[in-house]
Chains A and B, each alone.
Chain A
Amino acid sequence: MRLDTALGGLLASVALAAPALAQTLPQTPGPKNAITDVPGIEVGHYTATNGAGGMTGTTAIIARGGATAGVTQRGGAPGTRLTDLLKSEKAVGTAHAVVLSGGSAYGLAAADGVTTCLASQGIGTPVANGAIVPIVPSAILFDPGRCAPFNFRPDASFGTNACMAANNGPVAMGNIGAGAGARSGGIKGGIGTASAVLPNGVVVGAIVAVNSSGSTFNATTGQFFAGYIASNPDLAVALAPSPAPAESNELLRATTIAVVATNARLTKAQANKVAQMADDGLARALRIAHGTGDGDTVFALATGTVTANPNLNQIGGAAADALSRAIIRAIVAAKGIHVGTCNVNSYCELFPQNCSQ
């Protein structure tokens, strides 16, 4: 009994320290319902189209003042840069940008463009000889060869352009940036973003490029697997029969890559934990997720403008939900491509009754 009481007291104190508010649904989005609702976070897209339906691009998520960064990498076919540095035990904890790109491993070159862009603006970690080194982790997705020659892909200039375009305003979604050439379970994928306002001034946001082997919705009803997480402004899902989407042929050529951000002040280890929890939002929205051909990678950035002791469960849980919502918003925002022999349907073409726009 004594032990029970002691344990009860311990639990009570833990509960006091971490009130269970994190999982309240629906989330309250910030004014832009975008990752740019997180103070200190900017987003820039650069998109290339070839006129024949082919699209690819780069999305740079920039933390000009630096952000404590973490990552989780659970997809089986990743293409990544500087993820080792983000491990909790490594010496550098601050990232200045995260770059998401199409182009498979070739697209990692875009991060080089973001690196030089930031360096030219004096943004980076000071090292010896007065030099600065911008810390720019990156992950890519596989989109080459879709309605385009295989070598239609991002290079360093895409990163430069995305970096130059970065701002903290509303974030365009759908067929843009790293999501331009993305597909998801046989339909058009894309970029999505969402945010949530938490108590005590904490804001959490997510941005994702959905290019998944798995699907985001029930093929018969069109109902999103993570629909129960969606906020009212995100979409209105109705039940109605519709034609089933095409079989996914993307099993070995996929990848959903994302960034979650918060203005809470986190240690690097906490940022890694938040990334791990946020990754569950990907699992809830996608079936399958983290497959062998998926390079699924989720980064976490903490800009630290709210200095209060962070409630990790609240932030990690909210980041997961924001990521689920961002995935739904990506699929709803994506536009079908119908140019000559290049044809890929969008979700809203398949289920117009579920889409308000």
Chain B
Amino acid sequence: MRFSHLRTVVLLLLTGTAGSAGAGSAGAETPGQNNAITDVPGITVGHYTGVDSGTTVVRAAPPTGQGVAGGVTQRGGSPGTRETDLMRPDNMVETMNAIVLSGGSMYGLAAASGVMSCLEAAGIGFPVGGPNVVPIVPTAVSFDRATCNAPPASRPDFTSGLQACLAASGGPVAQGNVGAGTGAVSGGVKGGIGTASVVLPNGIIVGALVSLNSEGTAYNDDGDLTAAAFELDNEFSALTKAGGNRKRVPPSLPGGALRSGTNAVVATNVQLTKSQATKIAEMADDGIARAVSPAHTPGDSDTLFVLGTARIAIGTLGDANAVVTQIGTAGANAVSRAIVHALIAARSTPCQESYCDTFPSACRNRR
């Protein structure tokens, strides 16, 4: 089952909303080379994976100058964030250098300081006179339940951020139980890191990276992944029908403040203003809503960042608002797809069974 009918509908919808900015025809959208956020030029990703928790860094390099425009939306009820005030369009600094996603609840915010240190050593950051820079590193953390030990055996700290930053590279991105997804849970199964990308006919590239750690489930009452409907180019070939054994479908997690949260980064090669990046973040956040139910609960940290690496001037693509709509739509779909990849890639741990082990029939084609 490849959901091909639904996929066509989605693509038609995509084309329909693209307006003058969308010159392509249905089917012309394909995942990028690695089907990863690193398909966006300027984006590199680094993981630090501890025993049962970890940190993921998404670094953004502009073609010139320091940093790229960014935006954020923060709709979960239990956020743990740094520098999100700075990202508001009415505030001065317009250049972000990296986004940090981390486990470890509020303790994990310390990883951002390690990333700042790594970037400062490379001379990357907001210039504040002479050679001095202040790296702009917005961060979101969440409480990762699949840390089987209490207290967790590994809590992300300064060093975790430093190492994740130093490890950042382009190319394929490891998924599943890595980085910020190491101890992640999604509903009743193991969560993790997922990524996806799409290349639009007009040259826009949009990528997403998700740390899936949701209170709600990404599967329906039959155990099928809701967001598999957004498949591009047979990317979910590992996936089939779960088999509809309702007795085995684990429910959503019990609610509770500070217990979970799906944090994400969406990146594009288009040059954005902070306002445009913020709008794209709001639209891309719908990708979480479509893949996970319930989403944005009081106990979820759900925070989504957007980065525009400025390889294409938005004016060359047509009406700016139409382009923003196109990127926001593609971003939402990429987020939904990344969530499916996270669940396919996640592996069981001693205290949390994976999706594929919970629904072995769904993953029987997995290599």
Task: Please list the residues of chain A having a beta carbon within 8 angstroms of any beta carbon in chain B.
Answer: 73, 75-85, 89-92, 104-106, 108-109, 111-112, 115-116, 119, 125, 127-131, 133-136, 142, 144-145, 150-151, 155-156, 252-253, 292-293, 297
Instruction: Given contacts A85-B80, A109-B110, list 11 more A-B pairs with CB under 8 A.
Output: A90-B77, A104-B134, A105-B134, A105-B136, A108-B109, A112-B109, A130-B151, A135-B106, A145-B129, A155-B113, A253-B128
Contacts of A76 in B (CB 8 A): 90-92
Contacts of A92 in B (CB 8 A): 78, 257-258
Contacts of B257 in A (CB 8 A): 91-92, 125, 127
Chain A residue, CB-CB nearest to B137: A105
Contact status B158-A156, CB under 8 Å: yes
> Contacts A77-B91, A108-B112, A112-B113; is A133 near B132 (CB within 8 Å)?
no
Contacts of A89 in B (CB 8 A): 77
Chain B residue, CB-CB nearest to A83: B85
> Contacts A83-B81, A133-B258, A135-B106; is A78 near B134 (CB within 8 Å)?
no
Interface centre among A80, A129, A253 (most CB of B within 10 A): A129
Chain B residue, CB-CB nearest to A73: B85
CA distance A77 to B126 in the complex (A): 11
> Contacts A82-B80, A85-B80, A112-B107; is A129 near B147 (CB within 8 Å)?
yes
Whether a CB of chain A sits under 8 angstroms from the CB of B322 is no
Contact status B92-A293, CB under 8 Å: yes
CA distance A132 to B116 in the complex (A): 26
CA distance A252 to B128 in the complex (A): 9
Contact status A106-B150, CB under 8 Å: no
Contact status A134-B106, CB under 8 Å: yes
Which of A82, A91, A129 is within 8 Å of B106, CB to CB? A82
**Cβ of B125 to closest chain A Cβ, rounded Å:** 9
Which of B92, B157, B258 is within 8 Å of A127, CB to CB? B258
Which of A79, A129, A145, A297 is within 8 Å of B132, CB to CB? A145
CA distance A155 to B116 in the complex (A): 12
**Cβ of A154 to closest chain B Cβ, rounded Å:** 10
Interface residues of B in 104-135 (CB under 8 A from A): 105-107, 109-110, 112-113, 116, 120, 128-130, 132, 134-135
User: What are 16 A-B residue pairs whose CB atoms fall within 8 Å in the complex?
Assistant: A80-B82, A80-B86, A89-B77, A105-B134, A109-B110, A112-B107, A112-B158, A115-B106, A115-B107, A116-B107, A127-B259, A129-B147, A135-B106, A136-B106, A145-B129, A156-B113
CA distance A84 to B151 in the complex (A): 25
- Binding site secondary structure of chain B: loop
> Contacts A108-B113, A150-B132; is A131 near B150 (CB within 8 Å)?
yes
Contact status A130-B91, CB under 8 Å: no
Chain B residue, CB-CB nearest to A109: B113
> Contacts A91-B298, A128-B256, A131-B150; is A81 near B81 (CB within 8 Å)?
yes
Which of B91, B132, B258 is within 8 Å of A125, CB to CB? B258
Chain A residue, CB-CB nearest to B151: A131
Chain A residue, CB-CB nearest to B140: A84
> Contacts A83-B81, A109-B158; is A78 near B86 (CB within 8 Å)?
yes
Contact status B150-A83, CB under 8 Å: no
CA distance A316 to B89 in the complex (A): 28
Whether a CB of chain A sits under 8 angstroms from the CB of B93 is yes
Contacts of B17 in A (CB 8 A): none
Contact status B150-A77, CB under 8 Å: no
CA distance A129 to B134 in the complex (A): 37
Whether a CB of chain A sits under 8 angstroms from the CB of B83 is yes
Contact status A79-B86, CB under 8 Å: yes
Interface centre among A75, A85, A252 (most CB of B within 10 A): A85
CA distance A116 to B109 in the complex (A): 12
Whether a CB of chain A sits under 8 angstroms from the CB of B303 is yes
Contacts of B136 in A (CB 8 A): 105
**Cβ of B142 to closest chain A Cβ, rounded Å:** 11
CA distance A82 to B74 in the complex (A): 12
> Contacts A90-B79, A108-B113, A129-B147; is A84 near B74 (CB within 8 Å)?
yes
**Cβ of B287 to closest chain A Cβ, rounded Å:** 20
Chain B residue, CB-CB nearest to A124: B106
CA distance A73 to B151 in the complex (A): 34
Interface residues of B in 229-287 (CB under 8 A from A): 256-259
6 shortest interchain CB distances as A-B pairs: A129-B150, A91-B298, A91-B257, A91-B77, A112-B110, A109-B113
**Cβ of A42 to closest chain B Cβ, rounded Å:** 20
Which of A91, A136, A155 is within 8 Å of B78, CB to CB? A91
Contacts of A73 in B (CB 8 A): 85
CA distance A91 to B299 in the complex (A): 7
Contacts of A252 in B (CB 8 A): 92, 128
Whether a CB of chain A sits under 8 angstroms from the CB of B48 is no
Contact status A133-B84, CB under 8 Å: no
Whether a CB of chain A sits under 8 angstroms from the CB of B143 is yes
CA distance A104 to B257 in the complex (A): 30
Contact status B128-A81, CB under 8 Å: no
Whether a CB of chain A sits under 8 angstroms from the CB of B145 is yes
Contact status B92-A90, CB under 8 Å: no
CA distance A136 to B136 in the complex (A): 20
Which of A79, A91, A156, A293 is within 8 Å of B83, CB to CB? A79
Contact status A85-B79, CB under 8 Å: yes
**Cβ of A170 to closest chain B Cβ, rounded Å:** 31
CA distance A78 to B85 in the complex (A): 6
Interface residues of B in 200-223 (CB under 8 A from A): none
CA distance A297 to B143 in the complex (A): 26
Interface residues of B in 174-217 (CB under 8 A from A): none
Contacts of A83 in B (CB 8 A): 81, 84-85
Contact status A144-B78, CB under 8 Å: no
